Amino acid sequence: MDSTCPSESIYNLIPSDWKEPPQPPRYISIFKTAIKEDMQKSKTAMKTMGPPKVEVPSPKDFLKKHSKEKTLPPKKKFDRTEPKKPPVPLRTDHPVMGVQSEKNFVSSNAADVIMGVAKKPKPIYVDKRTGDKHDLETSGLVPKYINKKDYGVTPEYICKRNEEIKNAQEEYDNYIQENLRKAAMKRLSDEEREAVLEGLKKNWEEVHKEFQSLSVFDSMPKKTRKQKLEEKMKQLEHDIGVIEKHKIIYIANK
């Protein structure tokens, strides 16, 4: 006999009413009270608005009867003879008739339209296929700045500043040159410069001739001698190039 099946009994033959099982208890967090206490600690009564600053009424100014009713304006004495509206015109009064203007308004309006200057349409641009219109003047698409008269022209204050800088540099250069001349510098004359240049070229030719006379098969002393001659030739070539490049040369006074 299976243990899972109920045991046979005569009482099981009569069906019993189905009872709905009770619902499980609702979930309540165990931290509910702690969170509520923390919230109450951080809150302050009337923290944002503050207590209402209302003047406390005096006990003597208690509410009286009819004190809330509106007061009526003072009564005026009624005068029956005073007219309320302007009088009706008499039967003998006739309005002014036959007053007409000789101006031809049709012709004058046509002349104004013909002689007047046609109103130019406001430039616009459309940037979407749905036809959204925008002002063209303020869009930045019109080349206004490059069409100005002073476009590309150096401002006057910059020209003035450049001129001042140039003059200051010239004065400083003149001051330095004057100090160099007075202190310890002497300018070579053209004759002295040519004499120095000819002497350097003559020395280079002598060193070059000695360099060419060296033998092909070198020993260590000859290699050293060859290197010294090459260095001397390079130095002479450098000095010759400097003197040829600069026309004005200053030397220190001993």
Instruction: For residue 159, tell me if it sits in a domain.
Output: yes
Q: Are 230 and 205 in contact (CB under 8 A)?
A: no
Give the pLDDT band (50/70/90) at residue 106.
Answer: very high
Distance separating alpha carbons of residues 210 and 154, to the nearest angstrom: 62
User: Is residue 104 assigned to a domain?
Assistant: no
Distance CA 57, CA 19 (A): 67
Top mean pLDDT of 52-56, 58-62, 89-93, 161-165 is at 161-165
**Is 204 among the domain residues?**
yes
Residue at which a domain ends, from 184, 215, 232: 184
pLDDT value at residue 187: 74
Of residues 113, 248, 119, the one with CA closest to residue 190 = 248
Same domain, 175 and 125: yes
Residue pLDDT, tens place only, 112-142: 988 988 888 889 988 888 888 889 888 888 8
Instruction: Identify whether 108 is part of a domain.
Output: no
Domain around 166: 121-184
**Of 1-15, 56-70, 102-116, which gets the smallest average pLDDT?**
1-15
Rounded Cα gap, residues 228 and 211, in angstroms: 10
Instruction: Assess if residue 81 is contained within a domain.
Output: no
Q: Do 180 and 250 meet the contact criterion of CB atoms below 8 Å apart? A: yes
Domain for residue 137, yes or no?
yes
Structure tokens at 45: 């009564």
Q: How far apart are the C-alpha atoms of 225 and 210, rounded to whole Å?
A: 10
pTM (predicted TM-score): 0.30
Give the count of domains, the chain. 2
In a domain, 138, yes or no: yes
